[in-house]
Amino acid sequence: MSLTLEKIFEAKNRIAPYITTTPLIRMEKLDEFLGCQVYLKAECMQITGAFKLRGAVNKIKTLTPEQLSCGIVAASSGNHGKAVAYTAKKLGAKATIVMPYTAPAIKVNAIKELGAEVVQCDTSERFEVAERICKERNATMVPPFNDEDIMAGQGTSGIEIMEQCPDIDKVIVPVSGGGLIGGVSTAIKGMNSSVKVYGAEPAALPRYSASLKAGKPVKVEQKKSIADALVAQIPGDKCYPYIEKNTDGFFDVEDEYLLKAWKLLLTEGKILCEPSSAIGIGAVLQGLAKVEKDEKVCFLISGGSVGLEQLKVLEEVTL
């Protein structure tokens, strides 16, 4: 366990020229809906549209010039792939992004437009293919979450929250493999141990709730949920110890409440995000996260990768 607040501050300086300090929006309009003082950490307004850029830049900036010249590889059709492709372009390195055949053309093209090579394969083979490319080319894999440099980068969002609102009471973070909450909880607890940090994950994939109960990372069954960015079946083994140490609880959110939360954020909050990002708000709507009227509660809105055509599903959702 080598991740420390100091390392996250180092990451903050390292990535500063490449990222934007995302706004912490005081969203008073949502107070009556959620029953607390609502703050939104808008990572959907990050340069590449999601927090993932923080970790990718931090990881790639630690590579030697020789490593960089051999190229970098990532297996991701989502925000992580975009972040790696963007960073490689900025640093003049070659990126290869491994994507499943099923990835929509719009996502494939977006990655290509950033100058990255796209290799497509079956979904089940993507990590294997990425590993093979790394070996063949002596290239470096940039993992999506299970890495302390990645976590350090994501943790910079936590430092920003504490700097933007030093008297925040609670922070609720969307969770998949644990890279974001691993970094954010380490940063926040390091700066002020009395701030509560919670994770929100889909009820269909409660990998952290189950693991914390078991006292070690356990794998949950693969099930579908509307939270299409929160699909890890098992906690990252490098993330898990930080989360076990630095978080105050997990909420398993049903799709029904996640959809309500997503609609609320868009129609009342006027913020467009991807469905996964609204899961913390869903935890309040479902009654899982207990909040008080005078508490300052920060919802980390992790990303904004969503097509307008996806919003049609919201027409059926009632608030």
Question: Which spans of this chain sit near a second copy (rule: CB under 8 A)?
Answer: 20-21, 23, 25-29, 42, 44-47, 49, 266-267, 269-273, 304, 308-309, 311, 314-315
Cβ–Cβ under 8 Å, residues 200 and 284: no
Q: How far is the CB of 165 from a second copy (least distance, A)?
A: 12
| CB of 121 or CB of 266, closer to a second copy | 266
| CB of 163 or CB of 237, closer to a second copy | 163
d(CA 279, CA 272): 14
Q: How far is the CB of 256 from a second copy (least distance, A)?
A: 18
Q: How far is the CB of 243 from a second copy (least distance, A)?
A: 27
| CB of 294 or CB of 309, closer to a second copy | 309
Q: What is the 3-state secondary structure (H, E, C) of 130-173?
A: HHHHHHHHCCEECCCCCCHHHHHHHHHHHHHHHHHCCCCCEEEE
d(CA 285, CA 198): 15
Q: How far is the CB of 93 from a second copy (least distance, A)?
A: 21
Cβ–Cβ under 8 Å, residues 165 and 39: yes
Q: How far is the CB of 39 from a second copy (least distance, A)?
A: 10
Sheet holding 95-100, edge to edge: 117-121, 95-100, 72-75, 140-141
Cβ–Cβ under 8 Å, residues 157 and 22: yes
| CB of 50 or CB of 289, closer to a second copy | 50
| CB of 37 or CB of 247, closer to a second copy | 37
